[in-house]
Structure 1
Amino acid sequence: MDVKKSLFDNLQTFFGFDNFKGDQESIITNILEGKNTFVIMPTGGGKSICYQLPALMSEGTAIVISPLIALMKNQVDQIRAFGGNDSIAHFLNSSLTKSEITQVKTDLLNGHTKLLYVAPESLAKQENVEFLRLLKISFVAVDEAHCISEWGHDFRPEYRKIRQVIAGLGENIPIIALTATATPKVQQDIIKNLGMTDATLYKSSFNRPNLFYEIRPKKNINKEIIKYVKYNPGKSGIIYCLSRKKVEEVAENLNINGIKALPYHAGLEPKVRADTQDKFLMEDVEVIVATIAFGMGIDKPDVRFVIHHDVPKSMEGYYQETGRAGRDGGEGVCIAFYSQKDVEKLAKFMKDKPVSEREIGTQILKEVIDYAESSVCRRKQILHYFGENFNETGCNCMCDNCKKPKQQFDAEEKLLTLLKLVESSGEKFDDAHLINVFMGYETAQTIAYEHSKLPEFGSGKADGENLWKSLLRQAVLNNFLAKDIDNYGLLKLTKIGREFIENPYSLKFILNEIVDTAGDDDEDEVKQATAALDTQLLQLLKDLRKKIAKQKNVPPFVVFQDPSLEEMCTHYPITSDELKQISGVGNGKALKFGAPFIELIKKYVEDNDIDRPVDLVIKTQANKSALKVSIIQNIDRQISLEDIARSKGITYADIIKEVEAIVNSGTKLNLTYYIDEMIDEDRQDEVFDYFQSADTDSIDLALRDLGETDYTREEIQLMRIKFMSELGN
């Protein structure tokens, strides 16, 4: 029977596809011919069919080594659905009961099972090795093969033992190694470790043209994320965080703001994790907030955005995680938030690791920093990292750097100086040292090598460090220099670099924009964005406030204070819930005075066809509410403000500020017990009467009108709190 026809028939029968993608057909043919095969194919390229189809067509059972239980379950379910029976595919791992393991082994011995998924740990167990020797093994597929390499983003020591175990299963068993991310260094490690020097290599382009890459400085991050999700309703997305705590916080924050989100991390029960995956696949949940453990076993083609809340640990990790967006070829937006603080945290994690591991980790992290801080085409940088050259014009403005033209500088002369310095110093230094030389920084290394005596020392000071960083990054990116990653990232001249020294030519490089990375990721509250003040609406609201104040016989500031009205003019709240998000408007104020204001704003928005900003509906987690509740309870128990401040570890001024905020938001507090001890009754009445007829609640004006010799600022402030509480709430 014609092999080609058989291939297409089986593709149609099992998977329902009429055509192969990319190199799939050649890869499968190579495996069916019993040859070792190495497949480097980006996420979404159709790697799994490369071993599933030949396994279904071959005599015996294919062993698939996979690092994640979730991935195994997902794939076994899919094959069973295609194959029409449960015995066609199994997995063998720690999640199975004894009776389930017995069933798996029975099906394998009876020759019913075409694919057996195992974790590397399970594969290494002697009892499993002995059992597998009883089977006819068609081939072994090593999935996520980058786990073999210490330079890979997900190194697993158990993967190092795979070759040894395979050798113990029988002679001449073909191997197919597959990975979605592998730098040239990692590729060498895989080939060497699996003893596959004879393997046929199939390498697809790492370019995912439908993905848009963007880096943002990490400021007001909660608000930025919620705004993005709110502006993209109904779209599925994944938000990656580095810690479980942050995962929980972000998921809670999204839910508070009406976004269906669930957390996912290794600390959750397996059943909860499985349910979370199912809800995401079934679209009962819009967003998953996860540690990097999530997504490996998820085959969801229509993830529309992937957001990195924290700096990714490596470029490979970043590429694989962003690769979960737009697998159907549709929209895929990849946003990563970057801050120096995150980089410092990651560097701190590495401090206690063995020296060799720390050196590797430092170089891997440096690649991420270079990527995040650079103004060059993001796609070009990603592909260069994976050993692929790319012309940035092909990016089609699908990254933030290509979308906004950047400042350029003439690089010919400076590049020539740089390359000559690399050559004359024996190609023994990294980029940091070369920058120190050009900037004239005296370091232990520049002194030890006597580089402070070189003519280049300090010659680039006037250009600034940023220009030299830009020059060095692009010299590597454009292959004038290459990093020797086996050797501390030392820079070596390439053939192109040597040719440039011989025959320099005019060229321009992009000047990196210095990223403002003063992170603000742990803000207590999401500050409302400052937008243009709608003065027309402000006047209408002030008129309404005056009218209501007259009806209630209170000064206007008791209804709402000026800052609250101004905020209403930038955010246009049209529901009670939205009004409560305005600073100085709590539940009490919204109930007592809110309705006419909401009505007025709603009509104004409709009449003037105003596009309301999403910012308004961003609510904060109740991270300060515990303090507020405690203060209210202590005041109810008539505890002095000094004692409350002491017990909470805050100053007296802070407690007054908190009490004022509680009252101004519409909660009634009875501070009479405390004020009576501080101010006698007559003086209280005088201040109360003053505020009753005042146009403003200004303490400075009150002190001027009542006499600074008669009253202290603190007394006026306490009386203003009492006045607002009794009349406004």
Structure 2
Amino acid sequence: MSQFQSLEEALKHFFGYDTFRLAQEKIVEEALQNRDLLIIMPTGGGKSLCFQLPALLKPGVMIVVSPLISLMQDQVDALIDNGIGATFLNSTLSWDEVRSRENAILNGKIKLLYVAPERLLGEKFGPFLEMLRSQIGISAFAIDEAHCVSEWGHDFRPEYRQIKQLRQRYPDIPVLALTATATKRVQQDIVQQLMLKQPSIHIASFNRPNLYYDVQPKQSHSYNQLLKLIKYHQGSGIVYCLSRRNVDDIAFRLQNDGISALPYHAGMSDEDRRINQTRFIRDDVEVMVATVAFGMGINKLDVRFVIHYDLPRNLESYYQESGRSGRDGDPAHCTLFYSPGDIHKIKYLIDQKPDPKEQQIAWQQLNQVIDYAEGAECRRTIQLRYFGERFTGNCDNCDNCRHPKPVEDWTIEAQKFLSCVARCGERFGMMHVIEVLRGSRKKKIEQYGHHLLSTYGIGKDKTIEAWKMLGRSLLHQGLVDETSDGYRILKLNKLSWEILRKQRSVNIAITETPAAKALVDINTSSAEMEILFEKLRRLRKQIADANSVPPYVVFADSSLRLMAQIKPQTILEFSQISGVGAHKLSQYGEQFVSEIRAFCQEQQLPVPLPNQSNMFTLQLHQQGLSIEEIIQTRKLSPSTVISHFSELLEMKQPVELNRLVAPERQKVIIKAMETVGADLLKPIREYLTEEYNYDEIRLVRAWWRREN
């Protein structure tokens, strides 16, 4: 640093700033002392400078580990624009470009080299790294987005776990770990996984005072609600959605309504994503509609609003995603649309996770988001408490502080609640405590002997929702603690005991709990409809593709929505759906009814018993009549009787399939289904040739579905 009289002079020379922000100067000083560092600084806080300036002032090259190509390119472009020697090596480069850049590095023209963790630890890169250390020197390893190393982080990437090999290979080279968000648990994981040696830990406040936070109930016409909000805010903004379908749909509708918007999700090609991102960053368009695939490292400072159209999966993600607004320090707006029906969608996604531990973590994270959305306290208090930071509340920049709900003294109820936590041994979560308070007769209450506790049944005067409202408020105010290991176990703290000893009163903001409960019920049903609607759309697409027709030719969306709402589980019920004529009933009825019935079984919804007409067919079958004889006796069409038997088979009624289809023919049909799948009849028939008719295929498939 001999050419500069001070760090401020170097800062001005390289980056044009006159003064450091907050803790930047202290961090740079410690980095120059070759210390391991853990730096946690919110988006827009200037954490990149904390490793970039030391890299310019120390001998050698700093290796920067970065998870995304776009993130590398943005930072390198910004450094080059400042006249700083920086480059990246990644999969977008040709072999000649890689060789050219490696030569520039070994010739001392580069001070910062950006690489992905996979390349850094690859066999081919190892010899170059050794050459770099011996000829030029490595000043430090900077691990950007270090939360990716932790399975408790919001964006865990397994390849980041392997970075510890660097410390084993180069124990004397300092490591700087940087991230915008990390709970205490994630901080500990980063230190452990990266094998940081007595690191100096710098944690800037997570508070972003220029951001306004609010939660709005998601209306039935949610798109109109969104459009109105975007027109109100104007300027650059991001709309986050849970599904790719929503992204495409909303982007298309916004375009039609005169809003310049583009989609971004993992289902698009890399090139299309790159073009859309570039157009957004360059202000060619105002709004980016995206899944969470968009955002990490996006270098756009003037985003004026972020709207979460669907519920985020965890609070850390929400903080990160909403925090992509207002990075220039000017006011920005962060809105979350909250419908309890969205909870069902995320629960469905969680259930798809194969690892039970991952599921447990995801459940806890989802519940924390629900607590945030339904909380009546200052939004900042809830957010910052999640990161272990105390905030006094009354921020005057969130909906709950600007429009406070009525406050009541619930000290007595809090004493009951906390006393029950204590008497349950501080080993259970909120719902168990509430069930004890309300005198639940569930078996687990008696198994633990909690029906004998003095607190059993003393809270019958309050609803479950009222007790949950109190429990959330106690957590948000720090008046009780909760474990963060995936199990939401309540633990008493110092303030809890003050309440129990009557040394502290408890005031909570009151919400309309009966209405909230009704909303949950309505929207949970709505969420079921959406999931089933998607399943039916996929089935319709399969049928349409197999018949080389557009999907709307099979059934219109309006018919699918009625199916999703009414959930017909028999052919007779299905025939009542608007848009289902005789031909379509015959062609597609069974496939759609089977899909709906399977969904109802998955969701543990009531499955109907055979109707009277089906049972009459079964009685004739048990009397020994053949299909032809039943058709003549009942004067029904062959397709109707076959439908009866198909439904009876799927409902596990005593139908003798061997009398309807010869066993040897059953084997051939089953083999065909195992080969081409059992979703559609036409591919099975084509595989079997015309020797087999649709009726016998339909009957065997019904039996096969029941058994599988």
- 1:97 corresponds to which of 85, 94, 97: 94
How far apart are the structure 2 equivalents of 1:267 and 1:7? 46
Deviation of 1:226 after TM superposition, in Å, equals: 0.7
Q: Which amino acid aligns with 2:102?
A: K
Choose 142-151 or 271-280, whichever is displaced more: 271-280
How far apart are the structure 2 equivalents of 1:16 and 1:228? 37
Deviation of 1:522 after TM superposition, in Å, equals: 11
How far apart are the structure 1 equivalents of 2:89 and 2:47? 21
Residue pairs, 1:485-564, within 5 angstroms: 485-486=484-485, 488-514=487-513, 515=516, 516-517=519-520, 518-519=522-523
Match of 1:482 in 2: 481
Aligned residue for 2:495, secondary structure, equals helix
Contact 1:218 1:521 in 2 (8 A): no
Match of 1:341 in 2: 341
Structure 1: 5+ residue runs without aligned partners?
A: 525-622, 631-641, 651-729
How far apart are the structure 2 equivalents of 1:315 and 1:46? 22
Report the CA distance shift for 1:643/1:31 in structure 2 as closer, same or farther (over 3 A): closer
Q: Which amino acid aligns with 2:149?
A: I
Say whether 1:331 aligns with 2:266.
no
Say whether 1:128 aligns with 2:129.
no
Aligned residue for 2:312, secondary structure, equals coil
Deviation sequence 1:566-609 (CA, Å, 0-9, x none): xxxxxxxxxxxxxxxxxxxxxxxxxxxxxxxxxxxxxxxxxxxx
Choose 100-109 or 486-495, whichever is displaced more: 486-495
Report the CA distance shift for 1:3/1:369 in structure 2 as closer, same or farther (over 3 A): farther
Q: Which amino acid aligns with 1:45?
A: G
Deviation of 1:2 after TM superposition, in Å, equals: 7.2
Aligned residue for 1:214, secondary structure, equals strand
Q: Which amino acid aligns with 2:369?
A: V
Report the CA distance shift for 1:626/1:207 in structure 2 as closer, same or farther (over 3 A): farther
Choose 204-213 or 98-107, whichever is displaced more: 98-107
Match of 1:448 in 2: 447
How far apart are the structure 2 equivalents of 1:629 and 1:437? 46
Say whether 1:165 aligns with 2:166.
yes
Contact 1:266 1:293 in 2 (8 A): yes
How far apart are the structure 1 equivalents of 2:346 and 2:484? 20
How far apart are the structure 2 equivalents of 1:644 and 1:430? 48
Match of 1:295 in 2: 295
Residue pairs, 1:270-419, within 5 angstroms: 270-352=270-352, 353-393=354-394, 395-396=395-396, 398-419=397-418
Deviation of 1:483 after TM superposition, in Å, equals: 1.1
Aligned residue for 2:266, secondary structure, equals coil
Q: Which has the larger radius of gyration?
A: 1
Structure 2: 5+ residue runs without aligned partners?
A: 531-550, 559-576, 586-708
Deviation of 1:151 after TM superposition, in Å, equals: 1.1
Match of 2:194 in 1: 194
Contact 2:167 2:195 in 1 (8 A): no
How far apart are the structure 2 equivalents of 1:5 and 1:521? 63
Deviation of 1:315 after TM superposition, in Å, equals: 0.4
Match of 2:206 in 1: 206
Report the CA distance shift for 1:498/1:133 in structure 2 as closer, same or farther (over 3 A): farther
Contact 2:41 2:203 in 1 (8 A): yes
Aligned residue for 1:64, secondary structure, equals strand
How far apart are the structure 2 equivalents of 1:32 and 1:247? 45
Deviation sequence 1:343-391 (CA, Å, 0-9, x none): 1121112224211111111111111111111112111100000101111
Q: Which amino acid aligns with 1:241?
A: C
How far apart are the structure 2 equivalents of 1:455 and 1:521? 40
Deviation sequence 1:495-531 (CA, Å, 0-9, x none): 222333334333311224444354479999xxxxxxx
Residue pairs, 1:647-658, within 5 angstroms: none
Deviation sequence 1:113-154 (CA, Å, 0-9, x none): 111111112222122123212221101111111111111111
How far apart are the structure 1 equivalents of 2:255 and 2:553? 17
How far apart are the structure 1 equivalents of 2:341 and 2:498? 41
Of structures 1 and 2, the one scoring higher in RCO (CA 8 A, sep 6+) is 1
Match of 1:534 in 2: none
Q: Which amino acid aligns with 1:489?
A: R
Q: Which amino acid aligns with 1:376?
A: E
Q: Which amino acid aligns with 1:485?
A: S
How far apart are the structure 2 equivalents of 1:440 and 1:295? 47
Deviation sequence 1:235-282 (CA, Å, 0-9, x none): 110001122221111100100100000011222222222221221122
Equivalenced residue count is 536
Contact 2:414 2:506 in 1 (8 A): no
Aligned residue for 2:202, secondary structure, equals strand
Contact 2:64 2:144 in 1 (8 A): yes
How far apart are the structure 2 equivalents of 1:53 and 1:7? 9
Aligned residue for 1:333, secondary structure, equals strand
Deviation of 1:340 after TM superposition, in Å, equals: 2.4
Normalising by structure 2, report the TM-score: 0.72
Residue pairs, 1:138-177, within 5 angstroms: 138-168=139-169, 170-177=170-177
Report the CA distance shift for 1:197/1:166 in structure 2 as closer, same or farther (over 3 A): closer
Deviation of 1:232 after TM superposition, in Å, equals: 2.8
Identity %: 43
How far apart are the structure 2 equivalents of 1:214 and 1:479? 21
Aligned residue for 2:113, secondary structure, equals strand
Q: Which amino acid aligns with 1:436?
A: E
Deviation of 1:624 after TM superposition, in Å, equals: 9.1
How far apart are the structure 1 equivalents of 2:239 and 2:582? 38
Say whether 1:116 aligns with 2:113.
yes
Match of 1:107 in 2: 104
Q: Which amino acid aligns with 2:289?
A: V
Contact 2:344 2:527 in 1 (8 A): no
Residue pairs, 1:15-94, within 5 angstroms: 15-83=15-83, 88-94=85-91
